[in-house]
Structure 1
């Protein structure tokens, strides 16, 4: 599994209430994306940085999302360029599902 973390510094800080409204507006576009298990929208405590934490099946499926078109959408929507950082995630603990998920050895 792969974790992708996206971040973008906002031109002006926003409140959690504003972020929730904006994030709910884009959330449906991530439903049904091949290989995407979960996405967490995030906002820094000072409201100046937003982004997402994504849990993916594979790096290839993740990279299929972060295209130039996706980057342009983020830049237009939030007024800033996003960064994307990838991490290997060999083990995930999911307390809601009461599971421990692991990549194949």
Structure 2
């Protein structure tokens, strides 16, 4: 599994409500991506930063999601350049599901 952290600046004048409305519009397309396990949307009003934390099945899946159309949407919506970081994720302790995920599969510790 791969954890991807994407952050970008929020333009002056854009409210939290507008950012969350953008998130709500994008959620169905992320839910439809079979390679995405989970996405957490991020917002920090004090630093005027936003973004997402994605848990992907593979690095290839993560990189496919960062196409030109995605980059153009971020640039036009938020008028900033996103920063993208990737991390190998060998284990997830998931309290919502009540399980530990090891290398992408439910497991026991």
User: Does the pair score TM above 0.5?
Assistant: yes
Counterpart Cα distance in 1 of 2:59 and 2:13: 31
What is residue 88 of structure 2 aligned with on the other side?
Answer: 88
Structure 1: stretches of 5+ with no match in the other structure: none
The aligned residue for residue 99 of structure 1 is: 99
Alignment partner of 2:41: what SS? Answer: strand
TM-score under structure 1 length normalisation: 0.89
Q: How far off is 1:27 after superposition?
A: 1.2
CA offset digits 1:19-45 (Å, max 9, x no partner): 222211211121221310011110114
Q: Could you tell me which residue of structure 2 aligns to residue 12 of structure 1?
A: 12
Tell me the residue number matched to 1:38. Answer: 38
Q: Which residues of structure 2 form unaligned runs of 5+?
A: 105-109
Deviation at 1:17, TM superposition (A): 3.0
Residue-pair matches, total = 104
Moved more, 7-16 or 22-31: 7-16
RMSD, matched Cα: 1.7
Q: Distance in 2 between matches of 1:37 and 1:30?
A: 9
Cα distance in structure 2, aligned partners of 1:45 and 1:69: 26
